[in-house]
Structure 1
Amino acid sequence: MPTPVEALDALISRADPVRAAEMATYHKVERRYLGLGNDTVENLVRSWRADLDRDAKVTLAAALWDSNIYEARIAATKLLTQARIKPDDAPVWDEVQRWVVQFDSWAIADAAAKPIERRLIADPSRLDAVAMWTEHQNMWTRRAALVCTLHWAKGRHPDAAHLERREQVLTWIAALVSDHEWFTQKAIGWWLRTLSRQDPARVAEFLSLHSDGMRAIARKEAAKHL
């Protein structure tokens, strides 16, 4: 069972300085990069996960996240991406919520959307907390509200509860149409494009009401499969 220091050392010992410099240039966010490939991080996390119970996973994920090393934050998200968590998942939900207001890049935010989505599927009532993210001053937090709820844009035969949550997210999207940040608009288009594969009529209806307020990138993405 690795300690936080041991886990960080395992990541750092595999650093590739040349690739790290390239990643820093690409991501354009001031933090340490190690230059590790996704497979390297994934394999390390897999080896750690087998020996950790829920609380140990949360403790390790928190330490990895707080290091602010790019690959360590990615590892933290992978460590907590799990469908079923016993005895209950409240500590995991609390930890991933802590991350949300700290998002500062699409790559980390999108990676974190995966464990967040798992916890939302486990307890959809948590969407009520996510609703508050749509009004947060951090653009990445607002965007995360859409990326982590893509589950509700999917499903060919949704039940009534699924449809209710889908409409809840569509209400957020309607409110976010006036948010012209490029990444927010891209997420709006992404969500609607995903929904259009299941319910094109609902997306067409949404666009008839809101397309005038959307940036071209969002309109184009949303209508891609209509």
Structure 2
Amino acid sequence: MNYEYTQIIHDLLLKYADSNEAVKMKRYMRNQYEFYGLRAPQRKELVRSLIKKQGTPQEEHFREIIQELWEFPERDYQSIALELLDRKIKHFKEKDIELLEYLVINKSWWDTVDWIATKHVGHYFMQHPQNKKAVTGKWIDSENIWLQRTAILFQLKYKKLTDEDLLFRYINQCLGSEEFFINKAIGWALREYSKTNPQSVLEFVDKTPLSRLSKTEALKAIKKNKGNEEKNSKGG
């Protein structure tokens, strides 16, 4: 370990490790990662306590510490790294997109990628919109499914600020994919946007040859609202 901050995290994880929970977590993640077994509330409390005593990592070493945490085999380190990144979301510098991309393409799985995409990348492009199309365009053109998923999902919480043309263009570019994580992302993104602009999503779904998974996911919120309206109408 190159940094004292990382050593402190390591010592805390050893202190609070729960082997029984670790087995359950490893099984839930399809045995892809090892765990110390800290559940999310306990991990969040650990990070709060850490920051209260040590502060957040100094800016000049922030990236290196995050990347060092990323290299450990236990998934708890990556989750703590993202908790630390959460503290930076309002103050991303333009160059921080390099770190975010690194985290997406290394140790990639839905748990970290979706956290990075919807929270960190989403906030980053709010602060640096001039980079949005160039960077996400490169991602969607790549053959990396996690970069593509990030390009589709980064606007998930944008609501009325969603760049609809960009979202639909990226979805169209991924049509025909047999990759579960891409088709699921397409459906998820459309479902969330349907809560803001249901008519636009309905029209897009109607004219676009989406996969069955994407279409089912995309229409869930619309169908639920329609069902509630019919129920209320009958009740009245």
Q: Given the two structures, how large is their TM-score scaled by the length of structure 2?
A: 0.81
Partner SS for 2:16: coil
- Which residue of the partner structure matches residue 135 of structure 2? 129
User: Once the 2 structures are TM-superposed, how far is the Cα of residue 126 of structure 1 from its aligned partner?
Assistant: 2.8
Which deviations, in whole Å up to 9, do the C-alpha atoms of 1:117-171 show, x marking residues without a partner? 221221123322122222333322321222222133x12xxxxxx45x3311221
Which deviations, in whole Å up to 9, do the C-alpha atoms of 1:52-79 show, x marking residues without a partner? 3433433322211122320110111111
Conserved? CA contact 1:8–1:64, under 8 Å: no
User: Once the 2 structures are TM-superposed, how far is the Cα of residue 193 of structure 1 from its aligned partner?
Assistant: 0.8
Structure 1 residues 46 and 6: alpha-carbon distance in aligned structure 2, compared to 1, 3 A threshold: same
1:111 is the counterpart of 2:115: yes
- Which residue of the partner structure matches residue 40 of structure 1? 42
Distance in structure 2 (CA, Å) of the matches to 1:120 and 1:41 = 28
User: Once the 2 structures are TM-superposed, how far is the Cα of residue 182 of structure 1 from its aligned partner?
Assistant: 1.5
113-122 vs 13-22, greater mean Cα deviation: 113-122
Distance in structure 2 (CA, Å) of the matches to 1:220 and 1:21 = 33
Distance in structure 2 (CA, Å) of the matches to 1:166 and 1:222 = 14
The aligned amino acid for 2:113 is A
Distance in structure 2 (CA, Å) of the matches to 1:45 and 1:57 = 15
Partner SS for 1:30: coil
Distance in structure 2 (CA, Å) of the matches to 1:28 and 1:140 = 18
Q: Structure 2, unaligned stretches of length 5 or more? A: 223-236
- What's the C-alpha RMSD, in Å, of the aligned pairs? 2.2
Conserved? CA contact 2:104–2:112, under 8 Å: no
Q: Specify which of 60, 66, 79 is matched with residue 65 of structure 2.
A: 60
Partner SS for 2:157: helix
User: Once the 2 structures are TM-superposed, how far is the Cα of residue 91 of structure 1 from its aligned partner?
Assistant: 4.7
Conserved? CA contact 2:113–2:150, under 8 Å: yes
The aligned amino acid for 2:217 is E
Q: Specify which of 179, 182, 185 is matched with residue 184 of structure 1.
A: 182
- Which residue of the partner structure matches residue 99 of structure 1? 103
The aligned amino acid for 1:65 is W
Q: How many residues align?
A: 214
Which deviations, in whole Å up to 9, do the C-alpha atoms of 1:5-43 show, x marking residues without a partner? 221221232111111111111101433211111112212
Q: Structure 1, unaligned stretches of length 5 or more? A: 156-161
1:78 is the counterpart of 2:83: yes
Distance in structure 1 (CA, Å) of the matches to 2:97 and 2:4 = 22
User: Once the 2 structures are TM-superposed, how far is the Cα of residue 103 of structure 1 from its aligned partner?
Assistant: 4.5
Q: Percent identity?
A: 23
Structure 1 residues 118 and 2: alpha-carbon distance in aligned structure 2, compared to 1, 3 A threshold: farther
User: Once the 2 structures are TM-superposed, how far is the Cα of residue 206 of structure 1 from its aligned partner?
Assistant: 1.1
Q: Specify which of 216, 222, 225 is matched with residue 218 of structure 2.
A: 222
The aligned amino acid for 1:44 is L
Distance in structure 2 (CA, Å) of the matches to 1:44 and 1:58 = 20
Distance in structure 1 (CA, Å) of the matches to 2:50 and 2:217 = 39
Structure 1 residues 91 and 69: alpha-carbon distance in aligned structure 2, compared to 1, 3 A threshold: farther
Distance in structure 1 (CA, Å) of the matches to 2:168 and 2:107 = 23
- Which residue of the partner structure matches residue 89 of structure 1? 93
Q: Could you say which structure has the larger radius of gyration?
A: 2
Partner SS for 2:102: helix
Partner SS for 1:65: helix
The aligned amino acid for 2:83 is K
127-136 vs 184-193, greater mean Cα deviation: 127-136
